[in-house]
Amino acid sequence: MQTLKIIKIGGNIIDDQKALSDFLKQLATLEGPKILVHGGGKLASKMTERLEVPVKMHNGRRITDAETLDIVTMVYAGKINKTIVAQLQANQCNAIGLTGSDGNTIITEKRAINQIDFGFVGDVKAVNTDSLDLLIDNKITPVFCAITHDKKGQLLNTNADTIASELAIAFSKNFRTELYYCFEKNGVLKDVSDNDSVIETIDAKYYQKLIEEHIIADGMLPKLTNCFNAIEKNVSKVCVGKPSMLFQSDSIYTTLIK
């Protein structure tokens, strides 16, 4: 069975032009089929602040009102997505930028109000791989931003970590899928101020312990929730760390296991 790599890039790498450029140059050389999913929350937050729109978060997830949705759509699906695609093309990697509405690839529904109203935030209900299979078969790399749709004409802001996880799960029927969450840290850290304190292996039981001890919190919580969801649904490999884990055999990173 062929291996498909689903790679999510986020954190400060998106905001650092050189770091992003270096990553994309390396990604272009990565053999085999791949899908890139990118975040961009910090740039979106800067834009909302510039436009004097309040930034609201809850447990590491953005609350998205109508005005914020307009901004994140422009930033995610526009500026960041097309910049990434253009740089991949410059490195001889044929890529295409997508939202979940393109090709009806990712269908979501607006999150129900349960204590917290997240606004125009979408929870994934279905991933259609048919259109993506055509791209992958023709050696075109899909590049997804964090915008989806509800198939009723409404765009929705959807967590990029969740999109990556759900793509990996959907493709696991026909590929050996590997899921990589890349950011500026070496992995999941015992001490957030010490980049060398990498926890190299985490299972579900240890994960709960780390939450209870407040070692894992904020934005890392939804990321690892998605990691374990993928593992439980037949994704072959799930790793968290610097992009070097994709290219260097001696790289240190975190691997999530059952």
Task: For 212-241, write each residue's pLDDT tens digit.
Answer: 998 887 778 888 999 999 999 999 999 999
Sign of the four-CA dihedral 62, 63, 65, 67 = negative
Return all residues near 201 (Cβ < 8 A) that are at least 6 apart. Answer: 254, 255, 256, 257
Count of alpha carbons within 13 Å of 29, Cβ hemisphere only?
8
Task: Work out the average pLDDT over 33-61.
Answer: 85
Q: ∠ CA 188-59-44 to the nearest 5 degrees? A: 90
Lowest-confidence region among 38-47, 70-79, 132-141, 220-229: 38-47
pLDDT at 46 over 90: no
Angstrom distance (rounded) from CA 140 to CA 89: 10
How many CB atoms neighbour CB 242 within 10 A?
23
CATH code for the domain in which residue 148 is found = 3.40.1160.10
Angstrom distance (rounded) from CA 164 to CA 34: 11
Residue-level pLDDT at 12: 87
Angstrom distance (rounded) from CA 227 to CA 224: 5
| Among 227, 225, 232, 235, residue whose Cα is nearest residue 170 | 235
Q: Which amino acid is at 202?
A: I
Lowest-confidence region among 58-67, 135-144, 156-165, 181-190: 58-67
Comparing 35 with 115, the larger pLDDT belongs to 35
Question: Residue 77 has what DSSP assignment?
Answer: I
Share the mean pLDDT of the chain: 93
Asked whether 3 and 34 are in contact (CB, 8 A), the reply is: no
Q: Which amino acid is at 64?
A: T
Q: ∠ CA 194-26-130 to the nearest 5 degrees? A: 105
In a 10 Å sphere around its CB, with 0-12 CB exposed, 13-18 middle and 19+ buried, how is residue 120 labelled? buried
Most confident of 5-14, 36-45, 170-179: 170-179
% residues pLDDT > 90 (the chain): 78
Domain limits at 145?
Answer: 3-256
Question: How is residue 107 written in tokens?
Answer: 């269908």
Residue-level pLDDT at 41: 67
Give the bridge partners for 99, in sequence order: none
Number of structural domains in the chain: 1
